[in-house]
Amino acid sequence: MSTKLLLSVLLLPASTLALIGRDQSAGVEGILMCGTGPAKDVLVKLYDDDSGIDTDDLMAEGTTDSKGYFRVVGYTDEITNIDVKLNIYHDCDDGLTPCQRKITIWVPDRYVSSGKTPTRIYNIGTYDLSLKVKNVTLIGRTQSAGVRGYLMCGNKPAANVLVKLYDDDRGVDADDLMAEGRTDSRGHFQLQGHTDEFTKIDPKLNIYHDCENTNALCKRKVTFWIPDDYISSGETPSKIYDVGSINLALKYDGETHDCLH
């Protein structure tokens, strides 16, 4: 067997694998309004956004019911993590324009599941289609969250560690900083803040530290997500998420280094 033929045989499984990928799924639900009334029979499509020359993968589609409610769930095969978005096509306040208005809402990464059935559904709440997308973040609704806990470095308190509370935004928008602070001499911290968003916020805690850090230039960054149950309406959270005691000497999933915090 020639060398070229042998290489072709050896490379075949990798090529096949690239075509197969792995099953990943997501789902979105919510209520669409057109001003004060429900937006019924509105077309909604769930896509995996592909960059480059590939077309986006349609995962699911449907229409809203008489109350404006919809729910779409689907899956696709990809080697890399999928980027899920919801496209809404509608005629609310469209005037005489021959084409429908299209709105895109991105699904946060933590709502993407392995397998053909998502473990959780992203709820966008009630969405008024009469609003312009560029004004959504300005109008929005005030939502708040808070988090507290103790940080350790091995068996010692991690003092003066920078902690930041963010609302995680997808797409080109930067994450919204809700609050920041530092741990005290005991390693204790508490943050709370608020932001205005039309859809439900996705709060996360970022911790920037040098515990067991071998990178002299950049700090280790660990992210913890705040459960939806701890999101409140208004500027003050009704309850604070307690993360307990976190040992920064350990290695955490998704941990990175950050030089620009």
83 and 151 together in one domain = no
181 and 161 together in one domain = yes
Query: 178 lies in a domain?
Result: yes
- Output the domain CATH number for residue 190: 2.60.40.3330
Q: Alpha-carbon Rg of the chain, whole angstroms? A: 22
37 and 72 together in one domain = yes
86 and 171 together in one domain = no
89 and 171 together in one domain = no
- The tens digit of pLDDT for each residue in 184-202 reads 999 999 999 998 877 788 9
Q: State the total domains in the chain.
A: 2
What is the rounded distance in angstroms from the CA atom of residue 24 to the CA atom of residue 114?
5
The domain boundary residue, chosen from 99, 130, 161:
130
- Give the H or E element holding residue 258: strand 256-258
- Which residue in this structure is represented by tokens 């709820």? 123
User: How big is the CA angle at 32 (ends 83 and 126), to the nearest 5 degrees?
Assistant: 85
- The tens digit of pLDDT for each residue in 107-131 reads 888 899 999 999 999 998 888 898 7
Query: 221 lies in a domain?
Result: yes
Query: 58 lies in a domain?
Result: yes
The domain boundary residue, chosen from 73, 102, 130:
130
Q: What one-character-per-residue DSSP string does 201-233 give?
A: P-EEEEEEE-TT---SSSEEEEEEEPPGGG-EE
Give the rounded percent of residues in the chain with a pLDDT score beyond 90: 58
Query: 6 lies in a domain?
Result: no
Average pLDDT, the chain: 85
pLDDT band at residue 55 using 50, 70 and 90 as cut-offs: confident
- Which residue in this structure is represented by tokens 């993590």? 81
Query: 212 lies in a domain?
Result: yes
pTM of the model: 0.55
Beta bridge partners of 220: 209, 257
Query: 165 lies in a domain?
Result: yes
What is the rounded distance in angstroms from the CA atom of residue 162 to the CA atom of residue 222?
11
195 and 126 together in one domain = no
What is the rounded distance in angstroms from the CA atom of residue 170 to the CA atom of residue 189?
27
124 and 160 together in one domain = no
Give the rounded percent of residues in the chain with a pLDDT score beyond 70: 85
The domain boundary residue, chosen from 130, 152, 184:
130
149 and 227 together in one domain = yes
Q: Residue 75 is encoded by which pair of tokens? A: 């899956």
Query: 169 lies in a domain?
Result: yes
Query: Which residue stretches of 92-217 are H helix?
Result: 133-139
Query: 16 lies in a domain?
Result: no
Q: Answer whether 197's CB lies under 8 Å from 137's CB.
A: yes
100 and 202 together in one domain = no
Domain that holds residue 58: 21-130
